[in-house]
Structures are given as C-alpha cells and as structure tokens.
Structure 1
Amino acid sequence: MGAVDDGLRRLQVGQYACPRCRLPQDRVATLEQDWVLLEPGVEVLAHLVPAEHRWITLSDGRVTVYGVCPPDGSQRCRIEHRLTCSKQPLPDLWPWLTALRAENARAAQRRTDPEPPRPPQAWPDAG
C-alpha cells in the first residue's frame, strides 16, 4: 500500500525564476507528465481566458487545460507566466481580432495620409 500512497501524494509546486524577466513563477506538473510555468498567486475567472490557456488545478496538485466552453461563471483558472511576462511577445490569442486590429490600423493610416493630387481641370491634348 505504500507505493500507492506515494503515487497519490499531493505533488509539490516549485518556484523558479523566469529566464527572461527573472520574476518568480510556479513550475507545476501536468496530466501529460510534463511541466508548465504558471503565474504565481493569480487565479482568473475562466470565462475571461481563451479555452486553450485555462489551467485548472486538480486534487493531486497537477494542472490540466480547462477547455469547457462556456465555462461555469464561477470557475477560476490559472494562466501561464508567458502570457504575463513583459519580456516575451504576447501570443495571438484571437487571430480574428488580430486581423481586425491590423485592418483598423490600415484604415487609420489612410485617414491621416495626405489626399492624392486632384486631376487637372482640363486634360492635355494627347493626340
């Protein structure tokens, strides 16, 4: 029974410094036998975070992506440190929104560009 008890023991969370910003982050085991670096002390309402970025903590201390849509209104989740790290580029969380932002930037630029020259009142005789 000792081996089973060892396997069911709550996994410990370790703190590590981010190699980019040097701030502490939680290194937590996932269900897939991997590790993820989460922002320490931050739990966000799940509906505010895109489904593929929601991490919920299980009873044994491991975390898993919480992709339920729509999530329960009171469900809280954790987020990866890379989403909050000031030294890393923010991933494209909503591609359609990124495309819309780019189009709006082009539209704003067109409004501030000088007007093209007007055609002359009388066209020259070309022929």
Structure 2
Amino acid sequence: MRAVDDGLRRLQVGQDACPHCRLPQDRVATLEHEWVLLEPKVEVPAHLVPAGHRWITLSDGRVTVYGVCPPDGSQLCRIEHRLACSRQPLPDLWPWLTALREENARATERRTDPQPPRPPQVWPDAG
C-alpha cells in the first residue's frame, strides 16, 4: 500500500508554466479528482481570502476549497495562480462590492452640482 500512496502523491503535484505570464504554477489534485493551478510557495491567512478562493492542503496532498465562514484565524490557505497572475484580469471576488462601486459611479455621473452642498450657517438647536 505504501508504494501506491507514494505513486499517488507524486502524481498530485507538478509545475506548469502559466501561458499568460510564463511563471511557474503548481498543478495540484483536488478532492473532486480534478486539477487546480496554485501559486507556488504562497500560503495566505484564510481570513484575507474570499471563501470560494481558499484552497487548503489535506494530509494526502490534495487540496479542497475551504469555505468556512468565518475562517479559523490560524488557518492558512493557498490561492489560484490566476489571482496572482499579472497578465490576467482579476475576477470579481466580491460581487456586492462591485455592484456598489458601479452604482456609486452612476450616482456620481448623475450629480449636477459641481461642488458638494455646504453646511448651514446656523445649526439648529438640538437641545
């Protein structure tokens, strides 16, 4: 059984060059028997990464998405190379924030006042 385990472990990790930036990326097996390309030698505190992008390494060398919210403060995770690749557009990690930014941009365009409103000269007596 040991030889089979060692053979499986050797198949799980490899390095490929990114077709966009040509930097190395780790090819790692997932629990779902697929592959994910991770940024090599980078582990980030899980609370800094959105839930759907946290990859934790399991004891057998495979990785899985760590979607626990809030994450354990000591948990480290890996990230996909596409998030760190300087030649690829960054995905929309927080859709609600992107929507808010777009709405604020529209609100800015709708404003007709060239300057923000001034505060009143005399404030009402609040008691």
Q: TM-score range by the shorter chain?
A: 0.7 to 0.9
Mark the CA change 1:7 to 1:71 in structure 2 (over 3 Å): closer, same or farther: farther
Mark the CA change 1:70 to 1:103 in structure 2 (over 3 Å): closer, same or farther: same
Q: Which of the pair has more CA radius of gyration? A: 1
Larger mean CA deviation between 80-89 and 6-15 belongs to 6-15
Aligned equivalents of 1:22 and 1:77: distance in 2? 23
| Secondary structure class of the residue paired with 1:52 | helix
Aligned equivalents of 2:113 and 2:103: distance in 1? 15
Matching residue of 2:96: 96
Aligned equivalents of 2:3 and 2:104: distance in 1? 56
Matching residue of 2:125: none
Instruction: Point out where structure 2 has 5 or more consecutive residues left out of the alignment.
Output: 115-127
TM-score (norm 2): 0.78
Identity within the alignment, %: 80
TM-score (norm 1): 0.78
How many residue pairs were aligned? 111
Matching residue of 1:81: 81
4+ runs deviating over 4 angstroms: 111-114
